[in-house]
Amino acid sequence: MIAWRARLLAERGQYAAADRCLAEVMRHPHVAPITRVSALPVAGVLAPRRGDGDGGAALDEGIALAVRTGEAQRLGPVAAARAEAAATVHREAHGLVADEIYPVAEGA
């Protein structure tokens, strides 16, 4: 449940609180793979959202665990997180992140 709470907090933009939940999950040396595979996609997207790297290590471990289960409910979240992280890193690497937002008038 803590891994899912981390996901909720991350989606609400509460990254520090999400990090605390993730740390609580990951500090257990014998955490179940099912719990870990739920937490790793969250860890994998937090880094690029904050501009702290690409989250690759967490996402690589997540996909490896998800593939071993063969379950769509495990594969889907990891695949979505990998896509989000890749898109975020790509946008930043190629200067596609806006420095400013400009209002656009309809029909302009």
71 within some domain? yes
47 within some domain? yes
Per the structure, the complete domain to which residue 38 belongs is given by 2-93
Q: Tell me, what's the pLDDT at 64?
A: 93
104 within some domain? no
Q: How confident is the model at residue 94 (pLDDT cuts 50, 70, 90)?
A: low
Q: What is the DSSP string of the chain?
A: -HHHHHHHHHHTT-HHHHHHHHHHHHT-TT--HHHHHHHHHHHHHHHHHHTS---HHHHHHHHHHHHHHT-HHHHHHHHHHHHHHHHHHHHHHTT-S-SS-----TT-
When divided into structural domains, the chain yields a total of 1
pLDDT digits (tens, 9 = 90+) for 28-47: 889 999 999 999 999 999 98
